[in-house]
Structure 1
Amino acid sequence: MAYAAGVHQGSPPDHRRFLADIRTNRSNRAILDAWDALGLPDGWLVAGCLFQTVWNLVSGRAPEDGIKDYDIFYFDAEDLSAAAEARVQARVDGVLGSLGVPIEVKNQARVHLWYEEHFGYPYQTLASSAQGIDRFLVPSTCVGVRPVAGRDEVYAPNGLAILYAGVLTLNPLVPHVQLFRDKAQSYRNRWEWLQVQDTR
């Protein structure tokens, strides 16, 4: 079911609605249904494949429209090597390769080793995948989902109302203004109804 922007009624979006919405995306559904076969420690399906699905539905678009890749976080502090991460990526690709969509798997225990070189800012050592979700540039996009004991668990530290409202603000945990502005503009180019709040 698609939702038109600005016509939501009643209480703020809850986890049940969010889970129903993100599963309208065939690839999200297939990844979550195959989750146990991935064998990921502290694994979460995260980021654009979730919040962009919601924004597509709010916009009346197909849930998969324009989603470039599907991100998965896991946490393994025992082996911080790029080679270990590549082996996990290969294993996930072996399970999910038939979906025909790009899937990117990142070990959150090693983000601090490459983030500054890639983005130009230092990054603290994390203790869990959830802490990686906490540090997305835009708070409304800080969401993750994973199946646990037969049901989907949602991690949304900033709630879901700002996601459905399309509010884009700077995350105080990663106060990188130019990175935020670039990211917010890229989102606004695709969903014009999103609301960017002043970062100054």
Structure 2
Amino acid sequence: MINKERIISWIEEDKWMMDILRTTKSLNLPDWWICAGFVRSKVWDTLHNFSERTPIPDIDVIYFDLTNIDENKEKRLEETLKTFMPDIPWSVKNEARMHIKSNMPPYTSSVDAISKFPETATALGVKLDVNGNVLLTAPCGINDVVNLVVKPTPFFLEDQQRAKIYEERITLKNWKSTWNKLKVFHINTPYP
């Protein structure tokens, strides 16, 4: 059985991931996480027995800071991260302002924002605690990601416009072409 501890151990054994986590931790951002494809792809690669990491388009670093929602700060943080690890495609976002861009109600924290990602298998985040231990958040649970299921989060099911965004994403991402064991569910498809 795959549980959170098992996923954490996969990350701890991955030097590349741990280097990225340590580098991000050094910024001392409030309520920070590395989320989405960083975690999801690791799980799917492992469950598909891939010997090489599937490239991901960016490393999504999020944090929550109501005191400064200036997008320029995010860009400066990306530049700082690039000085440490220039080959990493950093993307830094303050979730305290992202609801404006996404035309959604304000988030209360980074984990709240993660819970409102389009897919349950993407609604994941990892970070290091003060002692350097890996923490995993999965506000929608880990069942879907470990069972290779792609389906919308409850937040994306409850609104037609968001449901349309979910459908567009799964078409655009075409994850099944990379991870062929995935079970991809559409909004109108019954799923467990």
TM-score interval (norm. to shorter): 0.7 to 0.9
Aligned partner of 2:111 in structure 1 is 130
Distance in 2 between residues matched to 1:114 and 1:140, nearest whole Å:
22
Distance in 1 between residues matched to 2:15 and 2:96, nearest whole Å:
29
Aligned partner of 2:166 in structure 1 is 180
> Of the candidates 140, 149, 152, which is equivalent to residue 170 of structure 1?
152
Per-residue displacement from partner, 1:6-52 (whole Å, max 9, x unpaired)?
xxxxx3x2222101223444431211233431221111011101111
- Aligned CA RMSD, in angstroms, stands at 1.8
Q: 1:108 to 1:59 in 2, by over 3 A?
A: same
Q: Bigger shift: 43-52 or 88-97?
A: 88-97
Q: 1:161 to 1:112 in 2, by over 3 A?
A: closer
Aligned partner of 2:185 in structure 1 is 197
Alignment of 1:73-112 (within 5 A): 73-97=62-86, 100-112=87-99
Distance in 2 between residues matched to 1:77 and 1:43, nearest whole Å:
13
Q: 1:25 to 1:183 in 2, by over 3 A?
A: farther
Distance in 1 between residues matched to 2:14 and 2:66, nearest whole Å:
32
Alignment of 1:17-96 (within 5 A): 17-62=6-51, 64-96=53-85
> Runs of 4+ in structure 1 displaced over 4 angstroms?
none
Aligned residues of 1:140 and 1:167 also touching (Cα < 8 A): yes
Aligned partner of 1:141 in structure 2 is 122
SS state at 2:136 partner: strand
**May I ask how many residue pairs the two structures share in their alignment?**
181
Partner amino acid for 2:179? W
Distance in 1 between residues matched to 2:16 and 2:34, nearest whole Å:
11
Distance in 1 between residues matched to 2:177 and 2:95, nearest whole Å:
29
Aligned residues of 2:12 and 2:134 also touching (Cα < 8 A): no
Distance in 1 between residues matched to 2:95 and 2:155, nearest whole Å:
16
SS state at 1:126 partner: coil
Partner amino acid for 1:17? R
Per-residue displacement from partner, 1:77-119 (whole Å, max 9, x unpaired)?
111111122222222222332xx1211111101102222xxxx
SS state at 1:104 partner: strand
Identical pairs, percent: 24
Q: 1:194 to 1:188 in 2, by over 3 A?
A: same
Partner amino acid for 2:44? W
Q: Bigger shift: 168-177 or 140-149?
A: 168-177
Aligned-residue offset at 1:134? 0.6
SS state at 1:149 partner: coil
For structure 1, the 5+ residue unaligned runs are: 1-10, 116-121
